[in-house]
Structure 1
Amino acid sequence: MSGRVGDLSPKQAEALDEFRERIGDVHDKLPIQSDHYLLRWLRGECPVWYDVIGPLDPKGLLMSASKQDFLRTKIRDSEFLRRECLRQSEKLEKPVEAITLIYDCEGLGMKHMYKPAVEAYGEILTMFEDNYPEGLKRVLVIKAPKIFPIAYNLIKHFLCEETRRKIIVVGSNWKDVLQKYVAPDQLPVAYGGLLVDPDGDPYCKSKIKYGGVVPKSYYIRESVKVQYDNFVTISRGSDLQLEYEILVRNCLLRWQFAGDGADIGFGIYMKTKAGVKQKVGDMQEVFPTTRYNAHLVPEDGSYTCEEPGIYVIRFDNTYSMLQSKKISFSVDVVLPETHTNSEGQA
């Protein structure tokens, strides 16, 4: 079925009736009231996600949660959108595989150029590109200030060429442009549509996250004094390697660490030769090295060692030629359940 008037399946006809009922209160305000006009929205009805950039407090957020927490949050959002695409596919009886992303850049400024935030956002973009290929149908950038090209240059190298081509920077007629891509009942009044919250709020704050300044009382460093089992200073241009012998499969290697002054690299390797000191390039990397802002928020994590062997936890400061790093850390090995004693078992 083509999804056009006179060629609708029962499910498509049901979707049209539901859509017509949903917009009943504003139907007479549409420029055209025909089914042809309504079906145009249904045929293009992919999920719409709003990112309101201006009010965000990047530094405050990164002082209050770890970078891994941000990645997990974005993975959660991405999975939600993937499920929405599946739901729409079933509802419309056609593949819906991508979303429309609206970036509201009003208020974009120097606070958004905060280096740790740019790096974290780059990792989020890389995660999305790697795990949700072709997940974007289009990106509509609205209310972009003069500083936008600078901000875009900081992150565009994380985007493949195909994704870059989907980015549309809209001018002063952005309300008219949004109406070409988003159904009026899904576009808030503040963005030129017909959607309002139950209390009449034209910004639809119950559906769209607008963010704001993070209170300093939320800052982890302000409320928690972090001191782990070990303390060490890693000289500029050097690293620290810690060896752990894993004797049985599926042991859990757990860590916590905090830094002082600047970020620090962290990764895990497995030796390919026992009894000798190996260079990093000669070992097998099992947990990719990433730079963490542990001077802002403590980091913690775990890795399941699927094979016995010598595992090397590495704190990396080789990229810093001017600054040594102080870190406090704790590492322990947890045996798999089958190797722990259970009371009452023979």
Structure 2
Amino acid sequence: VKFRKQQDLHNILAWQPPEVVRLYNANGICGHDSEGSPVWYHIIRGLDLRGLLLSVSRQELLRAEFQSCELLLQECEQQSQEVRKVEKIIAVFDFEGLSQRHLWKPGVEFAQEFLTALEANYPEMLKNRIVVRASKLFPVAFNLIKPYITEEMRRKVVIPGDNWKQELPKFISPDQLPVEFGGTMADPNGNPKCLTKINYGGKVPRSYYLRNQVRVQYEHQVTVGRGSSLQVENEILFPGCRAGEMMEVLPSQRHNTHLVPEGGSLTCLQAGVCKIYWVHWSHFPPHAKKPDGESDVLCPRKGPLKGELRDVGG
């Protein structure tokens, strides 16, 4: 419940992801397995995670993944009403084209963070994770994320081998499986990849990179030394406020703000002082950083106050 409130998942289906995410995030929901479970495809060759993370904030990209999870749950509910009770999904990962560029450290950290959130908040959603066209580099990639998935989740990983096109129809009926993956499903125009349902991604144009855009100028600038922290306080006042002990309302998060600006908001459900900590954890370069940022308290006409922090890097 806390996670759903923090991510505003009740309204996420109405949220519109940034254009670059809609065009280049290489995944899609297409077809159902023999039991009616929706199938979620991930196309590794077309995934330019570096380009995406240089074009949008990490939180926006995470939010796009959570939106897909909610769409899958919605599809399960619809299948339950029309066919039979469906509570789980199948994920198909096409690892063709996996290379060193996919092992970029901030990208790996993003994958680790998403998997951690997936395990904690959607633990029963996944029926099988099917890996096709696994290259020699796949064991390296898998070892990087292995600590972030449970033993039960690891047992759900299926790697068919070279005959994967003959094996996939055992999980997914041919008429629900794109021709590209060994089935008979195609787009209305005959395209075997089902491009109307699966986004095959591609290299993100540099024109989307946020560092190429005009830098926002904020009122305050403060130097934060390595290993030091900065505390920003916002007073949250509304009827019924009371004194209380300090409590964590949002877990600590790491942001690569030297690559892309970060932003976010938090709905404050209680009165008090909201303290925001900026910590400089980098090991190099050894000098201090000067992050530009802004935090506002927004008071809507109805509902709780909202504290907003936008961090544009340093």
Tell me the TM-score range normalised by the shorter chain.
0.7 to 0.9
Matched, 1:80 2:71: yes
- Mapped contact 2:44–2:94 kept (Cα < 8 A): yes
Q: 1:249–1:306: 8 Å Cα contact kept in structure 2?
A: no
Q: Find 1:67's aligned residue among 54, 58, 76.
A: 58
Q: For this pair of structures, how many residues does the alignment match?
A: 270
Gap change, CA 1:43 and 1:216, over 3 Å in 2: closer
Q: TM-score, normalised by structure 1?
A: 0.73
One of 195, 201, 223 as aligned partner of 2:185: 195
Higher RCO (Cα < 8 Å, 6 or more apart): 2
Which residue of structure 2 lines up, in the alignment, with residue 312 of structure 1? Answer: 275
Equivalent of residue 111 in structure 1, options 80, 101, 111: 101
Partner of 2:252: 289
* TM, length-normalised to structure 2: 0.80
Q: Any gaps of 5 or more consecutive residues in structure 2?
A: 1-31, 304-314
Q: Deviations over 1:80-106 (max 9, x none)?
A: 11111112222223x211111110000
**Alignment of structure 1 residues 98-247 onto 2, 5 Å:** 98-247=88-237
Q: What is the match of residue 300 of structure 1? A: 263
| Identity across the alignment (%) | 47
Q: 1:42 to 1:114 in 2, by over 3 A?
A: closer
Quote how far apart the aligned CAs of 1:285 are. 1.3
- Aligned CA-pair RMSD: 2.3
- In the other structure, the counterpart of 2:80 is 89
What is the identity, as a one-letter code, of the residue corresponding to 2:255? Y
Looking at structure 1, the residues matched to 204 and 285 of structure 2 have their Cα atoms a distance apart, in angstroms, of 32
* 1:16-51 alpha-carbon deviations (Å, 9 max, x no partner): xxxxxxxxxxxxxxxxxxxxxxxxx98523111111
Unaligned residue ranges in structure 1 (runs of 5+): 1-40, 252-270, 274-282, 340-346
Q: Higher strand fraction: Structure 1 or Structure 2?
A: 1
**How far off its partner does 1:173 sit?**
0.5
Larger radius of gyration: 1
Give the drift of 1:312: 1.3
- Asked if 1 retains the 8 angstrom alpha-carbon contact of 2:46 and 2:201, the reply is yes
* Amino acid aligned to 1:149: P
Aligned partner (choices 325, 329, 333) of residue 293 of structure 2: 329
Residue number among 27, 36, 39 corresponding to 1:45 in the alignment: 36
Q: Is the 8 A contact 2:34 2:172 kept in 1?
A: no
Post-superposition CA distance 1:88-141 (Å, at most 9, x none):
222223x21111111000001111111111111222212222222211110110
Contact 1:250 1:304 in 2 (8 A): no
Query: Helix, strand or coil for the counterpart of 2:191?
Result: coil
